[in-house]
Structure 1
Amino acid sequence: MPQPWIRSARYDGLLILAPPFLALGLVLLLPPAYRSTAEMPLLAWVALVVLIDVAHVYGTLFQTYFDPLKRRQRRTLLWVVPLACYAAGVALHSLGGLVFWRVLAYLAVFHFIRQQYGFLRLYGRQEPRTKGAWLATVLIYYATIYPLLYWHLSPGRNFNWFIDGEFVQTDWPAGRLVATVLYVALIIAYTVREALLWRRTRTFNVPRNLLLGGTLASWYAGIVWFNGDLAFTLLNVVSHGIPYLALVWNGGPSSRQAPAPPRRGAWAGRYGLLVFLGAVALFAFLEEGLWDGLVWREHGAVFGWFQQLPTVASPVLLMWLVPLLALPQSTHYVLDGFIWRRPK
């Protein structure tokens, strides 16, 4: 069967399907301390958090505000979403900083999970609905949900999504055991179904199975297998951010019947890729610099100029400032629920 690549075997393989496997390989090469402690080298933090994690958020701009056609088509959505996110953020922060970060963390988790499901739908878009096809959907969801359940049912981990204490956690070994048994059972059921399908039809969806394998590997290793901040960040960020930027750059799925839309506006032309990557990196640096100068004060060696800004400590000012600084993230999470939708 023709493989349902989004762009091509080389493009998808390198930028969408390989990142989780490459990230896992790098984690296995790390010194043991980085796989089991909260240590995070500064250069690794800059490369992973600033230049990939925060930067990929701004990729949404090129599918929305920086695209003249899409800006006209979604005019109302593009103004309502950031205003609603900011208003909700202020309301949540007024209840306490932990309330705000907890809600944002769970929204981020939902966004990460849905991205994997979205890629699954793209790679299954040409497949007929056959008996047991639902197993792929169930497995892609549980491949992400099981590690999160393990995290929630464990006494503590050496990493967090945003801040310590953001997730509701309790130490429940029996719950972890039940979740693990279901996890293993789903993997076995899916593997058996794929083997039977191959035996009957001699068809094998390469990108779909690589996507599922990468999702299983990166989420399990990053959260369950290892307990280190660098290991978690490397697997989490690389597996999510690079495929997202690759999808944005390509503009969506393409085929002979439905080619990807042409690039317009800021990223068109010979130097479009440099503009794209340079812009998202610059926006990420500016955002993290504001966070560090006004709120965190943790990476002065990287954001020296921003240290001249006054540190904001007033709870009232933070109630208005923190949701504003987090607005690119919250807007990205919500808009992505709309901009990648395609007719069946």
Structure 2
Amino acid sequence: MENSKTYKQPWLHSRVIDGVFILSPPFVALLLVICFPAQFQTSSTIPVYYWLFLVVFIDVAHVYSTLYRTYFYHDSYKKNAFLIMVPIACYIVGVLLHSYDGMLFWRVLAYLAVFHFIRQQYGFMRLYSRHEGSNYWFRLIDKLAIYTATIYPLFYWHFEGKRNFSWFVENDIISFNSPVLLNIGLALYLVIIITYVVKEAIYMARTGVFNRPRNLLIGGTFLSWYFGIVYFNGDLAFTTLNVISHGIPYMALIWIFEKNKQDKGTDKGNLIIRYTFSKYGGIAFFVLLLSLLAYAEEGLWDGMIWKEHGSVFTLFSGLPKIDNEQILSLLIPLLALPQSTHYVLDGFIWKVKKAAN
């Protein structure tokens, strides 16, 4: 067991950086939604420039941050053929799914995204528990808590059947009404919350230690997922809580890990890696590059598929809208390839950090 006198909080970088970029986003997003109820809780539309900031420059941009951990390194392809196989496999499967049924494609992609979002929170929890010598039951309760924080709201979404938002497209998450299952789910949800609080009280009584980042991470996950999906029932509130709580911490984690790697000089990577982490690059270049890639991708989506935000994608407004089903079955999985590849790869690229788990 830890000793309170010698215990060091398990920050990934520092109290300030972790606090601002990894742990505070769920609380900031929730505060934003609560303080502006007319804009977030009752509005049925997302203002275009807020959508641009939220969806493009955070949600889509965070997808491209995976490049800093994979394809931006010289020997990625030589050392790991998996990095080549994944996008090829994702595209082939995507084409087959969309050719069979367009909704099936979006539904599979949505559930893949859901799995990725859930696993990110579990991964953060493990990182912030890496120095703890807790017994098996304490670790199990932590695991149950973080999974419950994410899975119960999704359970509610499936069995309440009246959510006014979707993950990607309308009805991509399957739902129907079942009051009995909702009551059972709520009871289990409350039991696990109480169990976690009791466990923390016992842990503190025994050790005198309070793991601040782990508790903030688990608390923020409970709040952002519950209020984003269960309590509020609007697209703007859901998107705000969902995107900010996920995208900003993920990009921060990528920056922290890759900056540490470059400081140690273990692998210099390609020119982009070296410039980003040189004295001439920095966070501004990192964010700008990811934003440009995200803007280009979303511009292609809008120019050829959606035709909804021409005012912010003027460079792509002249592209023809594609209506042919055969072409769409080839094009949509291609445009979605960064997302699908990101979701699959992210389940593997952190496994090398076993010492941190």
Aligned position for 1:312: 322
Structure 2 residue 115 is matched with structure 1 residue 113: no
> C-alpha displacement at 1:173, in angstroms?
1.5
Structure 2 residue 344 is matched with structure 1 residue 338: no
More displaced, 264-273 or 22-31? 264-273
1:177-207 residue CA offsets vs partner (Å, 9 max, x unmatched): 1111111110001001100111121111111
> C-alpha displacement at 1:315, in angstroms?
0.6
Q: 1:142 to 1:253 in 2, by over 3 A?
A: farther
Are the equivalent residues in 1 in contact too, given 2:77–2:84 (CA < 8 A)? no
Quick one: which of 287, 292, 299 aligns to 1:282?
292
Q: 1:33 to 1:157 in 2, by over 3 A?
A: farther
Q: CA RMSD in A?
A: 1.9
Q: What is the alpha-carbon distance in structure 1 between the residues aligned to residue 85 and residue 36 of structure 2?
A: 44
> C-alpha displacement at 1:272, in angstroms?
3.0
Say which SS state the counterpart of residue 354 (structure 2) adopts. coil
Q: What is the alpha-carbon distance in structure 2 between the residues aligned to residue 263 and residue 184 of structure 1?
A: 48
TM-score, normalization by structure 1: 0.95
Quick one: which of 86, 100, 118 aligns to 1:81?
86
Aligned position for 1:90: 95
Are the equivalent residues in 2 in contact too, given 1:64–1:78 (CA < 8 A)? yes
Aligned position for 2:277: 268
Q: 1:250 to 1:127 in 2, by over 3 A?
A: same
Aligned position for 2:228: 222
Are the equivalent residues in 1 in contact too, given 2:90–2:337 (CA < 8 A)? yes
* Structure 1 unmatched runs, 5+: none
Are the equivalent residues in 1 in contact too, given 2:76–2:83 (CA < 8 A)? no
> What is the number of residues matched between the two proteins?
341
More displaced, 196-205 or 266-275? 266-275
Structure 2 residue 313 is matched with structure 1 residue 303: yes
> C-alpha displacement at 1:305, in angstroms?
2.3
AA paired with 1:211?
L
Q: What is the alpha-carbon distance in structure 2 between the residues aligned to residue 21 and residue 338 of structure 1?
A: 29
Q: 1:263 to 1:153 in 2, by over 3 A?
A: farther
Are the equivalent residues in 2 in contact too, given 1:252–1:340 (CA < 8 A)? no
More displaced, 23-32 or 235-244? 23-32
Aligned position for 1:63: 69
Q: 1:55 to 1:6 in 2, by over 3 A?
A: same
Structure 2 residue 9 is matched with structure 1 residue 3: yes
> C-alpha displacement at 1:32, in angstroms?
2.9
Aligned position for 1:185: 191
Quick one: which of 202, 207, 211 aligns to 1:205?
211
> C-alpha displacement at 1:337, in angstroms?
0.8
AA paired with 1:128?
G
Are the equivalent residues in 1 in contact too, given 2:68–2:258 (CA < 8 A)? no
Aligned position for 2:332: 322
Structure 2 residue 29 is matched with structure 1 residue 23: yes
> C-alpha displacement at 1:77, in angstroms?
1.4
Q: What is the alpha-carbon distance in structure 2 between the residues aligned to residue 141 and residue 72 of structure 1?
A: 36
> C-alpha displacement at 1:224, in angstroms?
0.5
Quick one: which of 170, 173, 177 aligns to 1:171?
177
TM-score, normalization by structure 2: 0.92
Aligned position for 2:151: 145
Say which SS state the counterpart of residue 39 (structure 1) adopts. coil
Aligned position for 1:293: 303
1:13-68 residue CA offsets vs partner (Å, 9 max, x unmatched): 11100100011000111233531442211111011001000010000011111122
Are the equivalent residues in 1 in contact too, given 2:225–2:241 (CA < 8 A)? yes
AA paired with 2:328?
L
Q: What is the alpha-carbon distance in structure 2 between the residues aligned to residue 30 and residue 179 of structure 1?
A: 30
Say which SS state the counterpart of residue 251 (structure 1) adopts. helix
Structure 2 residue 205 is matched with structure 1 residue 194: no
Q: 1:15 to 1:125 in 2, by over 3 A?
A: same
* Structure 2 unmatched runs, 5+: 1-6
Q: 1:310 to 1:215 in 2, by over 3 A?
A: same
Q: What is the alpha-carbon distance in structure 2 between the residues aligned to residue 100 and residue 260 of structure 1?
A: 42
